[in-house]
């Protein structure tokens, strides 16, 4: 079975380490929407050995921490779903009271149209946010052993 | 601000430890839907110190592992959202190709009605599933220090 996260980077590449990568999803409603993608093909988080489970969650925490510090979002949303693309990836999404679906999940029904657009409301240029995410993820400790 | 996860258990109590509890959501579409709830009121996962972040994820892994072993689901879905109830809780949901929203997230648009109902299709009585989840969560190592 071809897998799009094996074949493609899956978004704007922000950081890559030996085990994982972080991409920014290009979602007009959610400009501050990143994904932490395990490089190897595994479907479920618990397919990883415990040291690697912890490692990917440390990467998720790094991204969450950058988004909280830079954007002061109303809430962070984290999710590992993979029903359509069963290759382990964690969604890390900065949510705001004014965003298109709040307080619904981004997969729920739209609550409002957003004007001026979300990208203008963030207050931080995406290049700057990407650089901060990359810096944080590159500082991850690599796991001692698999 | 009153918080319903401070005031109430939040579902069918399955397991409780000094730091967290596991409840089963009572969702007719998703009978194998559990939540790992941090007992103390914090909003974001990264509000916890790293040892506690790891601890709650170990509990999530325990629940995921039980659901995978008992039910052989098509996919596990994990999420920490909290837009409506900003008290840290992780959703752990067994998903099946035949379920009401698959492959959409459970918060997306319904794809089909399910007959016979999901509870009958699981193949495992909920009391047995709850007991297996409780056993696994009670075996969690408690963190050495906060």
Burial, A137: exposed, middle or buried (Cβ in 10 Å; 0-12, 13-18, 19+)?
buried
pLDDT at A61: 98
pLDDT in tens, chain A (146 residues): 899 999 999 999 999 999 999 999 999 999 999 999 999 999 999 999 999 999 999 999 999 999 999 999 999 999 999 999 999 999 999 999 999 999 999 999 999 999 999 999 999 999 999 999 999 999 998 887 64
Chain B positions in Cβ-Cβ contact with residue A79 (cut-off 8 Å): 77-81, 105
Burial class of residue B106, CB neighbours in 10 A (0-12, 13-18, 19+): buried
**In B62-115, at which residue ranges do the beta strands (DSSP E only) sit?**
75-80, 89-95
Average pLDDT over residues B3-13: 98
pTM of the entire predicted model:
0.97
What pLDDT is recorded for position A145?
60
Backbone angles phi, psi at B27, to 5 degrees: -120, 115
A108 touching B (Cβ < 8 Å): yes
The answer to whether residues B86 and A75 touch, using CB atoms and an 8 Å cutoff, is yes
Interchain contact, A54 vs B57, CB within 8 Å: yes
Residue B88 has pLDDT above 80, yes or no: yes
> Which of B76, B80, B83 is the closest to A103 by Cβ?
B83
Residue B146 pLDDT greater than 60, yes or no: no
Minimal Cβ distance to B68: which of A46, A80, A107: A46
Residue A110 sits at the vertex; the CA angle it makes with A105 and A115, to the nearest 5 degrees, is: 115
Q: Convert the pLDDT of each residue in B29-55 to its tens digit.
A: 999 999 999 999 999 999 999 999 999
| Predicted pLDDT of residue A134 | 98
CB of B69 less than 8 A from some CB of A? no
Report how far residue B107's alpha carbon sits from residue A102's, in angstroms, rounded to the nearest whole number.
13
Alpha carbon of A79: minimum distance to chain B alpha carbons (Å) = 4
Among the partner-chain residues A44, A50, A54, the one whose CB lies closest to the CB of B68 is A44
* pLDDT over 80 at B145, yes or no: no
Are the Cβ atoms of B57 and A61 closer than 8 angstroms?
Answer: no
How far apart CA A38 and CA A81 sit, in angstroms, is: 13
Tell me which residue of B50, B18, B15 sits closest to B36, measured CA to CA. B15
Neighbouring CB atoms inside 10 A of A86's CB total 18
* Residue whose pair of structure tokens reads 């709040």 in the numeric block: A102
Q: What is the ipTM of this complex?
A: 0.97
């Amino acid at each position: 079975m071809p897998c799009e996260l094996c074949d493609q980077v899956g978004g704007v590449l922000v950081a890559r380490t030996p085990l994982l990568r972080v991409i920014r999803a290009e979602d007009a409603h959610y400009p501050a929407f990143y994904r932490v993608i395990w490089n190897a093909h595994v479907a479920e988080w618990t397919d990883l050995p415990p040291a690697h489970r912890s490692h990917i969650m440390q990467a998720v925490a790094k991204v969450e921490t950058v988004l909280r510090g830079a954007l002061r979002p109303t809430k962070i949303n984290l999710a590992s779903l993979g029903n359509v693309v069963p290759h382990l990836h964690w969604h890390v999404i900065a949510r705001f009271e004014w965003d298109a679906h709040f307080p619904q999940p981004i997969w729920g029904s739209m609550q409002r149209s957003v004007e001026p657009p979300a990208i203008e409301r963030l207050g931080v240029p995406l290049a700057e946010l990407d650089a901060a995410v990359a810096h944080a993820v590159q500082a991850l400790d690599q796991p001692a052993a698999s």
